């Protein structure tokens, strides 16, 4: 079996990876907040953890890997979008419309980027019971408290709890450093400025649920508690873990992933909640984070006018004056190592597309090899070293090893048929006959006939490519 090595944000080093149980390798990644089209930075996270999912399936077997990617469908931005877009409808109905539409858009976009559906796609609104139960456990353990119809988590109480990990261990910051670098909400009901909300009262007309910890008024959860609840439900409880279990190992899963911007406070707070609720030292064995993305050398932001969504790239001409095929977007992402920053440029997309066009010609009508090439698999096993994997794709292409190339492209999630136009069978037969006639003309050095056939093919929208390896053709975009 291939040996995997991943960089662990928690330990700040690359480590050999061994799952807690090879028959149920468990991965959790933070998914979308469904209020608008997801930006291309969100797309990077989707691609990175899809690639990890594919690699784990390759190594341990598809039936033995469980991937949960959550959906946040409770958020102030969702409420604002619903009120703006559907002013004549009751807010709860408008929210349901916004979240359903936006989630469908997200699924469509990430599928176009070559992402497999996760094993589980839990929604926050379906896990209020689990959130309440976790919150009540945290209150009972003295690390959370009720104040003015809120429930707040206390990092200082966590640090005083015997057996609990130190708050800030993932971010490698002290409480004072985190306070200085965080946008902390100042509220009179907080005991300490670093305390964060687990539950809060809903405003009139907002979505609301029965509150935990004896609070009489209805409310809704804070952001961080939802991932502790959904990872518990999908990755712990089905295998004997959860609040009814006091075995720390059963309350730990293998890998938690997300963007580097989530390290603090979101992932730090997830660890705090889960470890204090379960009495464990770690929430996940390995924490993996993808790097930032900038656009044409500048930080992406709406105020800069360079905010790019997956939907825009796939279906509009807003970036580079044209639409882009999903596989080209995916390859452009994978050309950079997942932990490194990416500069998202039109030139990079053009280069990725040209590379894929070359690969597509080589693997057309070729069945993939039974297994990916050893070199590509070894590169991915080394902390998802996609630059090395892609270099091997070029080596395979140069050597004419089309079956291995096709298998490697499949492992990387690069679908050579995606976005290619459907060709009428009669037209295809006609084109192939004309190409064959042109090849014969060139062999006979009948350049006049060769040029005539080339021009006739161009008029049909066919590009002819002559090389030392022979002649190939494709329908122009």
Q: pLDDT tens, 17-40?
A: 999 999 999 999 999 999 999 999
- 477 pLDDT exceeds 60? no
Averaged over 356-382, what is the pLDDT?
95
pLDDT tens for each residue of 52-99: 999 999 999 999 999 999 999 999 999 999 999 999 999 999 999 999
What is residue 461's predicted lDDT score, i.e. its pLDDT?
Answer: 79
> Of 179 and 366, which is predicted with more confidence?
366
Structure tokens at 434: 């004309």
Give how far Cα 461 sits from Cα of 210, 361, 450, Å. Answer: 62, 17, 17
Q: How does residue 321 score in pLDDT terms, banded at 50, 70 and 90?
A: very high
Give how far Cα 352 sits from Cα of 346, 348, 374, 468, Å. Answer: 10, 6, 23, 23
Choose among 65, 89, 66: nearest CA to 79.
89
Beta strand residue intervals within 309-410, DSSP E: 342-344
Contact 413/114 with Cβ under 8 angstroms? yes
pLDDT tens for each residue of 91-133: 999 999 999 999 999 999 999 999 999 999 999 999 999 999 9
pLDDT above 90: percentage of residues in the chain: 82
Task: Provide the H-helix boundaries in 113-233.
Answer: 128-140, 155-160, 175-181, 223-231
Averaged over 135-153, what is the pLDDT?
98
- 471 pLDDT exceeds 70? yes
pLDDT tens for each residue of 444-461: 999 999 999 988 888 887
Structure tokens at 42: 């969100």
Average pLDDT, the chain: 93
pLDDT tens for each residue of 255-296: 999 999 999 999 999 999 999 999 999 999 999 999 999 999
What is residue 469's predicted lDDT score, i.e. its pLDDT?
Answer: 60
pLDDT tens for each residue of 405-415: 999 999 999 99
Domain architecture of the chain: domains with CATH: 12-290 (3.40.50.620), 293-411 (no CATH), 425-475 (no CATH)
**HSE (CB half, 13 Å, CA atoms) of 29?**
28
Choose among 264, 294, 256: nearest CA to 41.
294
What is residue 427's predicted lDDT score, i.e. its pLDDT?
Answer: 83
pLDDT above 70: percentage of residues in the chain: 96
- Indicate the pTM of the whole model: 0.89
- 170 pLDDT exceeds 80? yes
What is residue 364's predicted lDDT score, i.e. its pLDDT?
Answer: 87
| SS3 per-residue string spanning 325-347 | CHHHHHHHHHCCCCCCCEEECHH
How far is 385 from 356, CA to CA, in rounded Å?
19
How far is 319 from 341, CA to CA, in rounded Å?
20
């Amino acid at each position: 079996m291939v040996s995997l090595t991943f960089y662990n944000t928690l330990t700040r080093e690359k480590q050999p990876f061994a799952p807690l149980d090879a028959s149920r390798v468990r991965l959790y990644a933070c998914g979308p907040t469904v209020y608008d089209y997801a930006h291309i930075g969100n797309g990077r996270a989707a691609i990175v953890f899809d690639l990890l999912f594919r690699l784990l399936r390759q190594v341990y077997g598809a039936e033995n890997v469980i991937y949960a990617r959550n959906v946040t469908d409770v958020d102030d931005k969702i409420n604002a979008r619903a009120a703006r877009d559907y002013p004549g409808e009751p807010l709860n109905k408008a929210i349901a419309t916004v979240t359903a539409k936006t989630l469908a858009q997200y699924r469509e976009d990430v599928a176009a980027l070559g992402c497999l559906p996760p094993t589980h796609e839990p929604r926050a609104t379906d896990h209020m019971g689990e959130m309440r139960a976790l919150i009540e456990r945290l209150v009972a353990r003295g690390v959370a408290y009720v104040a003015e119809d809120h429930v707040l988590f206390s990092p200082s109480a966590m640090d005083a709890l015997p057996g609990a990990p130190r708050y800030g261990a993932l971010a490698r910051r002290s409480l004072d450093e985190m306070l200085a670098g965080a946008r902390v909400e100042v509220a009179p009901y907080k005991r300490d400025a670093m305390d964060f909300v687990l539950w809060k009262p809903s405003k009139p007309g907002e979505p609301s649920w029965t509150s935990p910890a004896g609070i009489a008024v209805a409310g809704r959860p804070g952001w961080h508690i939802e991932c502790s609840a959904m990872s518990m439900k999908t990755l712990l409880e089905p295998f004997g873990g959860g609040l009814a279990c006091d075995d720390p190992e059963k309350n730990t899963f293998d890998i938690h992933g997300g963007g580097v911007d989530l390290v603090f406070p979101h992932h730090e707070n997830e660890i705090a909640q889960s470890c204090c609720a379960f009495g464990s030292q770690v929430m996940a064995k390995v924490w993996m984070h993808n790097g930032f993305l900038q656009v044409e050398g500048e930080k992406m932001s709406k105020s800069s006018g360079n905010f790019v969504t997956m939907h825009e790239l796939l279906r509009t001409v807003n970036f580079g004056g044209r639409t882009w095929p999903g596989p080209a977007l995916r390859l452009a992402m994978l050309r950079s190592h997942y932990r490194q920053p990416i500069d998202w440029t039109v030139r990079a997309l053009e280069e990725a597309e040209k590379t894929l066009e070359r690969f597509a010609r080589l693997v057309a009508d070729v069945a993939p090899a039974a297994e990916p090439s050893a070199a590509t698999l070894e590169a991915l096993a080394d902390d998802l070293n996609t630059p090395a994997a892609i270099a091997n794709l070029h080596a395979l292409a140069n050597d004419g090893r089309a079956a291995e190339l096709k298998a490697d492209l499949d492992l990387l999630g690069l679908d050579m048929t995606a976005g290619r136009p459907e060709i009428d069978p009669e037209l295809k037969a006609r084109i192939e006959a004309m190409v064959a006639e042109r090849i014969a003309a060139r062999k006979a050095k009948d350049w006049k006939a060769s040029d005539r056939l080339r021009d006739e093919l161009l008029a049909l929208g066919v590009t002819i490519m002559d090389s030392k390896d022979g002649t190939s053709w494709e329908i122009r975009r």
